[in-house]
A = this chain, B = another copy of it.
Amino acid sequence: MRLDRRMIVDAMLGLARDEPHTRITFKRLGEALGVDATAMYRHFRNKDELTRAALDRITGWATDAGRASSGSWRQRLETHLMRTAELALEYPSIGAEGAIIDPVGPGDTSAVEFMLEMLAESGLRDAELLRAYAAISGFALSQSSALAHDVLRNPTAARDGSEPWISTFGSINLTEYPLVNEHRDALLAMDGMTVYRAGISAILDAVEMRQAAARPVA
Residues of B within 8 A of A102 (CB): 166-168, 170
Known: A134-B190, A206-B203. A170 touches B139 (CB 8 A): no
Q: Say yes or no: B135 contacts A146, CB within 8 Å.
A: no
Q: When each residue 139-158 of chain A gets 1 if its CB lies under 8 Å from chain B and 0 otherwise, what string results? A: 10111011001100000000
Residues of B within 8 A of A169 (CB): 103, 109
Q: Report the contact-size class of chain A (Cβ under 8 Å from the partner).
A: 35 or more
Query: Per DSSP, are chain A's interface residues mostly helix, strand or loop, or mixed?
Result: helix
Q: Say yes or no: B141 contacts A139, CB within 8 Å.
A: no
Interface residues of A in 114-144 (CB under 8 A from B): 116-117, 120, 126-127, 129-132, 134-135, 137-139, 141-143
One complex includes copies of this chain to the number of 2
User: What residue in chain B is nearest A116 (Cβ atoms)?
Assistant: B179
> In the bound complex, what is the Cα–Cα distance between A103 and B203 (angstroms)?
25
Q: When each residue 92-104 of chain A gets 1 if its CB lies under 8 Å from chain B and 0 otherwise, what string results? A: 0000000111111
> In the bound complex, what is the Cα–Cα distance between A137 and B113 (angstroms)?
28
5 contacts between A and B (CB under 8 A): A103-B172, A134-B199, A138-B143, A206-B206, A209-B209
